[in-house]
Structure 1
Amino acid sequence: MSAPNNNQRHTIAVLVDNEPGVLARVVGLFSGRGYNIESLTVAETKPEAGVSRITIVTSGTIQIIEQIKNQLRRLVPVHTVSDLTIEGPHVERELALVKVSGTAGRVESLRIADIFRARVVDSTNESFVFEIVGRPDKLEAFIKLMKPLGLVDVARTGVVAIARGPQAL
């Protein structure tokens, strides 16, 4: 009998100075301790202040997640570390480009895309490229339905997330 899996998925937002080597230090923290990164996005959010936001989706036990957050807080130049999963309601989105080929399932592909509110951003006689935005589970469901219709390729951005309400990170 195996032990129960107490891993939980967490979305962590980190504000850092936008300077060379910061992302390498954050990723090094994860790889050096054997933690997995399920999704990673980085973008400058306050150009005037030289601040970037790193959004990391990871999983682990409560103790591992606490370790990750504490170790992130000790990194220089980290300003704030927020675990959006436990700090209250938040919004998560991801973008994917999904290429489907073939002519047999064209009508079905378009019908499913319409249901999922995916947009056709490129079309040839042999293929479509759909753009879909939503929660990661919505993207997974769309991709799963496209597999039997001729799924060729998928490119995903990774999760971006923001807390609900008037407060900033």
Structure 2
Amino acid sequence: MGNQEIEFTRLVDDAQSLALFRELNALFADAFEEQETYLGNPPTDGYLLSLLAKEHVLVCTAMSCGELAGGLVAYVLDKFEQQRKEVYIYDLAVASKYRRKKIATQLIRFVQGQAEKLGAWVVFVQADPVDTAAVKLYSSIGKREDVLHFDFTLDKE
């Protein structure tokens, strides 16, 4: 594969981005081994296009010769204690054939640039301790904070 140029892009609300967003969902399904979560009940085109149109939703891709190499989805959070924003990386994945080529690091750096343009002061991400590759990557880029995460499920009748 050599040293092919990787192009980083923030998707917008158009047909080409919509197709890439669906492809990114499939990449997440494979990378996280969660087919049902990412592909079991796909959102409509209108729903995805509305997400891509929102300033606070960042969907970014890494492309190599027209092929999706990786991507991430992040959310911009408006803070209340100060007039500032934070960016939370929700999902990040790199296609298996592109791993170990610093694409995840470059995606994070790309999002940091996007975050700066939006007036954010920090970008953060969570990782499961058992995901040693992610923990190692994130530790090499940022400062680790040990926190507990709690999910509060909603009763659906």
The answer to whether TM tops 0.5 is no
The structure whose Rg is larger is 1
Higher normalized strand content (fraction of residues): 1
Higher relative contact order (CA 8 A, sep 6+): 1
TM-score by length of 1: 0.32
